[in-house]
Chains A and B, each alone.
Chain A
Amino acid sequence: MTRSLVDIAYVRAGDKGDSVSVGVLAKSPEYYAQVVASVTPKTVAALYGDWVQGEIEVFPMPNIDGCLVLMHDALGGSATNTLRFDQTAKSLGTAILRLPAIAP
């Protein structure tokens, strides 16, 4: 069975203005290469569809065996005026773990 990121990574998500940031951390250093191969602007854009309106950036963080996904115009406003129930995108972030784990 194909593995997904939920098997090899943890996430922590948060907001700043209309941006959503999702830190993705490999559960073990041996999974780091798979994490950065799996989490790309393209795979993330396909996952979230029209809930992310702006640019998606992925920054590798080899020092902590992870990466930081930054999605712009992704909260439907900001935490203070979005129509979303998940006002600070903390729940939205875990959807990253649905991505298939791709071999580097």
Chain B
Amino acid sequence: MPNTLKNTSVRLGCGAGFWGDAFDPALELAERGNLDFLCFDFLAELTMSLLQRVRAKDPGQGYVPDMVNWFADLAAPAKASGTTLVCNGGGVNPRAGAEALAKAMQVKGIAGRKIGVVAGDDVLGRLQAFRDAGMKLTHMRTGEDGFDRIKSKVVSANVYLGSDGIIEALEGGSEIVVTGRVTDSALFIGPAMHRLGWGFDQPDRIASAITVGHILECAAGCTGGMSSRFDQMPRMGEVGFPIAEISGDGTATISKLPGSGGHVDQFTVKEHLVYEIGDPRSYFTPDGVADFTAPHIEETGADVVRVTGMRGKARPDSLKLLIGYSDGWIGEGLLMFPWPNAHARARKAEETLRERFKRLGLASSAISFNYIGLNMLHGPAAPIPASDNLNEVGLRVAVKTASRDEAEKVRRACSQLWIMGPGGTSFGAPMKPRPTIALWPTLVPRDLVSHSVEYITS
């Protein structure tokens, strides 16, 4: 049954919290969620650099390939439910992603569907022009001005866009919206603003949408996933992804499909409110600044949580630009040691590896050794037991190098311990060197970056 309260409330679901998330909860929401919008976040900080590398090899690629298959499969059930699909799976090539989707839909006999494509976030080709115009591109965190130091190594440069493009695409009649780098929360804020008729001159209302978007954007993250009380969460392998209903007055409820796994309760929602944020009094997005110390969160039923009292400030004049650049390689290895004297074996193995690194002439900028079972996760916060009577201890080594060849020496040294290492050592499969990306976040004036919207029909 379609939602009869359209325009006085909006019903949103989250279909993915990352590229690699489960499809079945999204399909259930498309079929049975009675949603106005089903929104998918596919992008993480590293993703844009990975996709830019893919695109460099093939100009027709650079979007999230899963998006094409997923949306082609979801298009029919979403249409039947009156649900609009929104995602940022366009990656660094939203138009190519939308074209691939249109083709995949045609193969399934789904014709005449309007896909809105939102772009404008990719400024990789404009960085030099920014510099020429006198912009310093100062590092947001460190205050460093030395952008030219990393210029030749830059792989990706994307501005986090807000909701404007999604709103425009929805006003233009899109049944599916595919974007590049918009904020995770914009995927929810845009549809909410569009449906409820809210404007950027209503900061408290926008703060409601930001807060709800933040709670929903990691999918199972607010329905039992990552929970401190995971042991109490039923059937997490069949977890339901979250649903939010936002009213015109800015209040909201968070829930999930009846019968699905997991829970929505005050703690699953509160835990997600504090997830991956900075100063909670000012949660910055391109659409507005939400105060996360304002919302009141209460359970109003089984798997229903009500969120009220959201407050915020007007959207900022600057947008965040995240530049990714090549930052050398990491070589790593993992060795496991059994009782008796597992810890002592691991320590001797570290000593031996350091000797091998020296012999191999390993050039590195940082070396890290950790003991699995003792301090790999908590570091200095973990007390080391006085007695060496543990069942097993692992040694993990990770080394930062400038080149692949240097990183390869770490793998070689670890393998050499197969025979020259402590008795009883097990190695598993050797770990391949991997290239790494470093991030350079900076701010750019809003008026320098504008979104674009175009349409493709399946």
| Nearest CB on B from A68, distance (A) | 5
CA A14 – CA B280 in complex, angstroms? 14
Total residues of chain B contacting the partner, CB 8 A: 51
Asked if A70 meets B279 with Cβ closer than 8 Å, knowing A12-B226, A12-B228, A95-B378, the reply is: yes
Q: Tell whether, in the assembled complex, residue B45 and residue A78 are in contact, meaning their CB atoms are under 8 Å apart.
A: yes
How many chain A residues sit at the interface, stated as a range, is 35 or more
Asked if A59 meets B281 with Cβ closer than 8 Å, knowing A12-B271, A92-B378, the reply is: yes
Name the B residues within 8 Å of A23 (CB-CB): 270-271, 273-275, 277
Cβ 8 A contact of A18, one of B141, B226, B272: B141
Asked if A78 meets B379 with Cβ closer than 8 Å, knowing A12-B272, A61-B292, the reply is: no
Chain A residue nearest to B372 in the complex (CB): A85
Does B319 lie at the interface of the complex (its beta carbon under 8 Å from any beta carbon of A)? no
Asked if A85 meets B376 with Cβ closer than 8 Å, knowing A61-B280, A68-B280, A80-B437, the reply is: yes
Q: Tell whether, in the assembled complex, residue A16 and residue B294 are in contact, meaning their CB atoms are under 8 Å apart.
A: no
Does B345 lie at the interface of the complex (its beta carbon under 8 Å from any beta carbon of A)? no
| Nearest CB on A from B312, distance (A) | 14
Mask, A76-104, CB within 8 Å of B = 1, is 11111101111000111011001000000
Name the A residues within 8 Å of B437 (CB-CB): 80-81
| Nearest CB on A from B379, distance (A) | 4
Q: Tell whether, in the assembled complex, residue A98 and residue B292 are in contact, meaning their CB atoms are under 8 Å apart.
A: no
Cβ 8 A contact of A76, one of B324, B368, B399: B368
Name the B residues within 8 Å of A84 (CB-CB): 368, 398
Cβ 8 A contact of A90, one of B226, B229, B294, B396: B226
* Interface residues in A1-28 (C-beta closer than 8 Å to B): 10-12, 14-19, 21, 23, 25
Q: Tell whether, in the assembled complex, residue A79 and residue B45 are in contact, meaning their CB atoms are under 8 Å apart.
A: yes
Does B382 lie at the interface of the complex (its beta carbon under 8 Å from any beta carbon of A)? yes
| Nearest CB on B from A8, distance (A) | 12
CA A25 – CA B271 in complex, angstroms? 8
Cβ 8 A contact of B274, one of A19, A66, A72, A80: A66
Chain A residue nearest to B380 in the complex (CB): A49
Q: Tell whether, in the assembled complex, residue A25 and residue B270 are in contact, meaning their CB atoms are under 8 Å apart.
A: yes
CA A11 – CA B272 in complex, angstroms? 10
Cβ 8 A contact of B278, one of A16, A48, A86: A16
Residue of B141, B271, B379 contacting most chain A CB atoms (<10 Å): B379
* Interface residues in B127-157 (C-beta closer than 8 Å to A): 141
Q: Is the interface of B mostly helix, strand, loop or mixed?
A: mixed
Cβ 8 A contact of A51, one of B49, B279, B380: B380
Does A47 lie at the interface of the complex (its beta carbon under 8 Å from any beta carbon of B)? yes
Q: Tell whether, in the assembled complex, residue A95 and residue B368 are in contact, meaning their CB atoms are under 8 Å apart.
A: no
* Interface residues in A34-92 (C-beta closer than 8 Å to B): 47-51, 57, 59-64, 66, 68, 70, 72, 76-81, 83-86, 90-92
Cβ 8 A contact of B279, one of A14, A17, A57, A95: A57
Name the B residues within 8 Å of A90 (CB-CB): 226
Cβ 8 A contact of B400, one of A11, A83, A85: A83
Does B377 lie at the interface of the complex (its beta carbon under 8 Å from any beta carbon of A)? yes
Q: Tell whether, in the assembled complex, residue A16 and residue B295 are in contact, meaning their CB atoms are under 8 Å apart.
A: no
Q: Tell whether, in the assembled complex, residue A85 and residue B274 are in contact, meaning their CB atoms are under 8 Å apart.
A: no
| Nearest CB on A from B55, distance (A) | 18
Name the B residues within 8 Å of A59 (CB-CB): 279-281, 293
| Nearest CB on B from A24, distance (A) | 8
CA A60 – CA B293 in complex, angstroms? 8
Does B276 lie at the interface of the complex (its beta carbon under 8 Å from any beta carbon of A)? yes
Cβ 8 A contact of B276, one of A16, A57, A60, A61: A16
| Nearest CB on B from A57, distance (A) | 7
Cβ 8 A contact of B271, one of A10, A49, A63: A10
CA A48 – CA B273 in complex, angstroms? 24
CA A98 – CA B271 in complex, angstroms? 19
Does B390 lie at the interface of the complex (its beta carbon under 8 Å from any beta carbon of A)? no
Name the B residues within 8 Å of A62 (CB-CB): 293
Q: Tell whether, in the assembled complex, residue A92 and residue B439 are in contact, meaning their CB atoms are under 8 Å apart.
A: no
Cβ 8 A contact of B270, one of A49, A64, A80, A81: A64
Q: Tell whether, in the assembled complex, residue B396 and residue A85 are in contact, meaning their CB atoms are under 8 Å apart.
A: yes
Q: Tell whether, in the assembled complex, residue B279 and residue A12 are in contact, meaning their CB atoms are under 8 Å apart.
A: no
Chain A residue nearest to B441 in the complex (CB): A17
CA A17 – CA B440 in complex, angstroms? 9
Name the B residues within 8 Å of A18 (CB-CB): 141
Name the B residues within 8 Å of A51 (CB-CB): 379-381
Asked if A81 meets B327 with Cβ closer than 8 Å, knowing A21-B274, A91-B378, A92-B379, the reply is: yes
Asked if A14 meets B292 with Cβ closer than 8 Å, knowing A81-B437, A81-B438, A91-B377, the reply is: no
CA A91 – CA B226 in complex, angstroms? 11
Q: Tell whether, in the assembled complex, residue A49 and residue B381 are in contact, meaning their CB atoms are under 8 Å apart.
A: yes
CA A83 – CA B277 in complex, angstroms? 22
Asked if A48 meets B381 with Cβ closer than 8 Å, knowing A12-B271, A63-B296, the reply is: yes
Does B366 lie at the interface of the complex (its beta carbon under 8 Å from any beta carbon of A)? yes
Would you list the 9 A-B pairs with minimal beta carbon distance, nearest first? A23-B274, A49-B380, A14-B276, A10-B228, A95-B381, A91-B377, A81-B436, A83-B398, A12-B271
CB-defined A-B contacts under 8 Å, sample of 13 = A14-B275, A15-B276, A16-B276, A25-B274, A50-B380, A59-B281, A64-B273, A64-B274, A68-B277, A70-B279, A76-B366, A81-B437, A90-B226
